[in-house]
Structure 1
Amino acid sequence: MTFPDPVAIPAGLRLTDWIRPGDSVVWGQAAAEPEALTSALVAQRHAVGPVTATIGLSLTATTDPAHADRLRFRSYCASGTNRRLAQAGALEILPVPYSTLSRILAPVDVLMLHLPPPRPDGLHNLGLVNEWLAPLIDSARVVLAEVNDRMPDVPGDIAVRPERLAAVVRSARPLRSLDSAPPSDIDRRIAAHVCGLIEDGSVLQIGLGQLPDAILGGLRDRRDLGVHSGLISDGIAALTEAGVITNARKTRDRGVTVTGWLLGGERLWRFAHRNPGLRLCPTSYTHDPAVLSGHDRLVAINSAIEVDLTGQINAEVADGAYIGAVGGAAEFLRGAHGSRGGLPIVALASTVRRTGASRIVARLSGPVSTPRSEAGIIVTEHGIADLRGCTLAERRRRMIDIADPAQRAALDAAPPLP
C-alpha cells in the first residue's frame, strides 16, 4: 500500500492550547479525517504529550508507527494504512460490535471534525460521516474542526453549531479516496450467485471492495432497490443515477438512502452534495437489528476471511495477523434474519488467491467474529449454501459442496465440530 504524504500544517496552529497530556482524541475515518489537524498533532506530539488517539479506517500518513512514541493508537479495524500500525504492534484493537463504539468512547476529551462550509443558517452538516462521531459532539470537552471548501454538504440528522467549535482551520484540499482494483473473474462468479438471489424492491446493505463492486455492477437490471447500509460507495451512486436504486418500496425511510458514512471518489462526492435522497445517521440507527428487521427484503451482504463447516465466521485474523474487524456484520445479519423476505449473506472466494489455501475450513484459524447462530447464506464461486434451519451435519455437507473441489476430500475427512 502506498503511504500518502501528510497535509501541510497551518501556520501558527498550536494544539497545546486545547490538548492536554493524557487526553483521549477522536477523529473521523477515511476522507473524514481532518488532516490539517491530525498532521499538526503528529508534528507537535512531543509538545502535546502522550495522548490516546481512537481512529477508524485510515488512508493517511498519520498512522506511521513512528508516531506511536507519543500517540497510543486504538481502532475497531486494521484496514487501510492502519495495517502498518498493526504489523508494527502499535495498534490496539477494540473487538466490539460497531454499533457500540460511540457508547464505549464517550466521553472524549478532544473531538476533531472535518466539516463542509456552514449552511445558510450558519450550522455545519457533518460532511461524510455521522455514525459513531456525531454522538460524541456533546460529550467532548473540546471540539476542533477543519472546514474544507471541497467537503460535500451531506444531509444528516445532526448539525454542528459554530459556537461549539473551539478552533477552526480552513482548507480547500482534495479528499482522500480509496482505490479499488477491478473485480476478478472469481469475484464476478460469486457476484452472479449473489445477484441471482436479489429481487426487485430489496433493501441493500453492502460494503467496499472488488466483490461488492462486482455485485453492484450485476444489479443494473433490477428495479426500485433501496439502501440501508453502514457505508456507501461509488457503486451505490452509479446505481442511483441509473434509476436502479429509488428507495421507493422501503418500509422505513421511503425515498431515502440511509447510511453512516461515505467512502469513494469524486463521483460519490458530487452525488452526495446536498442530495435530499441521502441521509447520514448514527450507528445506533444504521446498525440497530430492530430497525433493520423492520425493512422488508433486507439483503445484508458481508464478507469474511474464512468460514468453518458449521457457519462460524472469522473476519479479523489471517495468518496470525489482525487485518479486519468485528465490524457490524453480525448486526446486519441478525437484522436480515428478522426481515420479512430478508437474506443474510456472507460472500467470499473459496480459496486464498496468493496461496490457494481453502477459506472454507474445518476449524477457524482465528477468532469467531460472527457466531454460527447468525449464519445464513454462504456464497462462493462454486455455489450457495443456505444454512438457515439446518442441523450441524446438514451445514457440513452444504459447506463442503461450495468449497474448492480440490479441498473437499480433506474437509470431508476432518472430524466434525461439536
Structure 2
Amino acid sequence: MTWNENLARVRASVDDAVGLVRDGDWLVVPVGAGEPPALLTALSERRRSLHGVTVVQMLPLRPFGYFDPETVDHIRPVSMFLGGPSRAGAQAGWLPLIHGHFSDFPVMFARGEVRSDIVFALASPMDADGYFHLGVSADYTLAAIERARTVVLEVNPHVPRTGGPAKVHISKVSAWIEDDRPLTTLPPSETGPVQQAIAKFVEPLIHDGDTLQIGIGGIPDAVVALLKGKHDLGVHSEMIGDGLLSLIESGAVTNRRKTFMPGKMVATFALGSEKLYRFLDTCPDFELHPSDFTNDPYIASQNDNLVSLNATLQIDLLGQCGSESLGPKPYSATGGQTDFIRAANRSKGGRSIIVVPSTAKGDTISRIVPTLTPGTHVSASKNDVNYVVTEYGVAQLRGRTSNERVEALIGIAHPAFRDELRAQAKAMHLI
C-alpha cells in the first residue's frame, strides 16, 4: 500500500475521529498553538457521553467546553502548565497539575509515568516522504505518540513544515481530519515604563555572539527591542515568538557564532503571529525539537555564552524564586525556567537572568520579600539564581555570601520598602 493509499484509508470525519476516544483514556494534546481546535471542540460537545477520560496538555489557549467543573467525571482536564482556560480550575482545585521540568515531560511519557492512550495533535499536510510536521509544537508529543494506542491528527495547511525531528509518519496515524481555520495567535505584550527600565539594565548583560533563550511577556519584548543593534546572536530557546523574529529580521540573529548547532535556530514550540508561522514554514535554518533536547541543561549548555531570560512573581532575600504561585494559589507551573537557568550556569561564559518588577498592586506590595509567602512553590532555588534585575538595578548572586545577597537584593527593591526589608533581614539574622 502506498503512502497516499494509506492516507486515504485513514481519513475520517470529525465525529468518527473523536469516536476513537474510549472511556478511561488519557488523551494527550500538544502545547499551546499545537492544540487541534476542531477535534477538541467536537470532543467537548460529546463529553457527557464519555466517562473517566483525562485530557493532558500544557499551556492551553482556547476555552474548550471540557474546562467545566460540572463534567469532570466525564472529561477531566489536567495541565502541565496553566493557561487562561485552565487557571481558574487549578485555583479552585478541580483541575490538577502534573509537576515537573519541561525537559522531563517527554521522559515521563516514554517511561509511562504519565499515561498516553490517545494523542490529538495539529499537523501540516503530509509531505512527499509520508510525514506530517507538527510545525508549532514538538514538546512531549513525539514521546506520547510512541506510547499511544491511537494517534489522530488534525491536518491544517497553515501549520508550517519545520526542520528537525518533529514529524509523524503516515504509518503511525490511526485517523486524520482536515481543517483550515487560522492557527492560534498571541497578541503583542504591552510594555510600560517599568518593563522598559528593566530592559535597560538587562541589555548590557547581553553581548555580541551570545545565544539566547527568551520567553514571552512585556519584559522580554522590551529587552528584545534594545538588542537589534547587537551582532551574531544565536537562538536556542524553549519558545520562538515574534520578539525573536524581530531580532532575526533586524539582522542581529545570525547563529554564526553558536558553538552547538552553528547556523541553526532551535526551539520546542512556536507561539505568536501568523507572520511568525509563515516565516517558520520558509526558514531552512530553524529546527523544532522535543523539550528533552531543547531544554536539557547538558545539551543547551553546549552553547557557549548562553543567556537565559526568565521572569518571577516573587523572590526572597536569599534568592529563592516563586515563579508559578503566590502562596499555594497557582498561576502557571515550573515549565523550563530551571532547565535554562541551569543550562546557562553550566555554559562557558553563560548568564542566567531573572527579571521582576520591584512591586505589585500599584506599588503597595514588594515582590522582593524576606521569605516567600507560605505555600509558594519554589521554581528556582537560591543555589541556581544568578542575576536578578528590577527597574532599580542588577543584583548578581552567585558566589556571594548570604549577607551580600541580602544587601544586593535590598539595593534593587523599591525604595519605599528598603528600610522595612533591612529591618526584617536583621530580625532574621541574615545581616
Give TM class, smaller chain.
over 0.9
The 10-residue stretch of structure 1 (80-89 or 189-198) with the greater mean CA deviation from structure 2 = 80-89
Q: For residues 79 and 92 of structure 1, what CA distance do their matches in structure 2 show? A: 13
Q: For residues 283 and 417 of structure 1, what CA distance do their matches in structure 2 show? A: 41
May I ask how many residue pairs the two structures share in their alignment?
409
Contact kept? 1:155, 1:274, Cα under 8 Å:
no
Q: For residues 107 and 364 of structure 2, what CA distance do their matches in structure 1 show? A: 41
Calculate the aligned-residue CA RMSD, in Å. 1.7
Question: Residue 286 of structure 2 aligns to which amino acid in structure 1?
Answer: L
Deviations 1:227-269 (A, max 9, x none): 1011110111111111111111000011111000000011211
Shift of residue 145, structure 1, vs aligned partner: 0.7
The 10-residue stretch of structure 1 (85-94 or 296-305) with the greater mean CA deviation from structure 2 = 85-94
Deviations 1:121-169 (A, max 9, x none): 2211111011211222211110001000111222222421112111111
The 10-residue stretch of structure 1 (53-62 or 401-410) with the greater mean CA deviation from structure 2 = 53-62
Q: Which residue of 2 aligns with 1:64?
A: 67
Shift of residue 294, structure 1, vs aligned partner: 1.4
The 10-residue stretch of structure 1 (257-266 or 58-67) with the greater mean CA deviation from structure 2 = 58-67
Pick aligned residue for 2:412 from 398, 402, 405: 402
Contact kept? 1:16, 1:47, Cα under 8 Å:
no
Question: Residue 410 of structure 2 aligns to which amino acid in structure 1?
Answer: I
Q: For residues 143 and 355 of structure 1, what CA distance do their matches in structure 2 show? A: 50
Contact kept? 1:59, 1:178, Cα under 8 Å:
no
The 10-residue stretch of structure 1 (311-320 or 204-213) with the greater mean CA deviation from structure 2 = 311-320
- How does 1:18-417 map onto structure 2 within 5 Å? 18-62=20-64, 64-66=67-69, 67-106=71-110, 107=112, 108-318=116-326, 320-354=328-362, 356-365=364-373, 366-414=376-424, 415-416=427-428
Where in structure 1 are there 5+ consecutive unaligned residues?
1-9
The 10-residue stretch of structure 1 (215-224 or 105-114) with the greater mean CA deviation from structure 2 = 105-114
158 and 180 in structure 1: CA distance in 2 versus 1, 3 angstrom threshold: closer
Question: Residue 43 of structure 2 aligns to which amino acid in structure 1?
Answer: L
The 10-residue stretch of structure 1 (50-59 or 175-184) with the greater mean CA deviation from structure 2 = 175-184
Question: Residue 184 of structure 1 aligns to which amino acid in structure 2?
Answer: G
Contact kept? 2:185, 2:271, Cα under 8 Å:
yes
Q: Secondary structure at the match of 2:269?
A: strand
Q: For residues 204 and 167 of structure 1, what CA distance do their matches in structure 2 show? A: 38
Question: What percent of counterpart residues are identical?
Answer: 35
Q: For residues 114 and 226 of structure 1, what CA distance do their matches in structure 2 show? A: 28
Deviations 1:186-238 (A, max 9, x none): 00000111111110000000111111111111101100000101111011111
Contact kept? 2:17, 2:176, Cα under 8 Å:
no
Contact kept? 2:203, 2:223, Cα under 8 Å:
yes
Shift of residue 372, structure 1, vs aligned partner: 0.5
Q: Which residue of 1 aligns with 2:3?
A: none
Q: For residues 354 and 93 of structure 1, what CA distance do their matches in structure 2 show? A: 30
- Moved >6 Å (runs of 4+): none
Contact kept? 1:65, 1:90, Cα under 8 Å:
no
Q: For residues 163 and 22 of structure 2, what CA distance do their matches in structure 1 show? A: 33
Where in structure 2 are there 5+ consecutive unaligned residues?
1-11
338 and 189 in structure 1: CA distance in 2 versus 1, 3 angstrom threshold: same
The 10-residue stretch of structure 1 (210-219 or 132-141) with the greater mean CA deviation from structure 2 = 132-141
The 10-residue stretch of structure 1 (254-263 or 101-110) with the greater mean CA deviation from structure 2 = 101-110
The 10-residue stretch of structure 1 (43-52 or 253-262) with the greater mean CA deviation from structure 2 = 43-52
Contact kept? 1:248, 1:254, Cα under 8 Å:
yes
Q: Normalized against structure 2, the TM-score is what?
A: 0.91
Contact kept? 1:50, 1:72, Cα under 8 Å:
yes
38 and 340 in structure 1: CA distance in 2 versus 1, 3 angstrom threshold: same
Q: For residues 82 and 208 of structure 1, what CA distance do their matches in structure 2 show? A: 18
Shift of residue 82, structure 1, vs aligned partner: 1.7
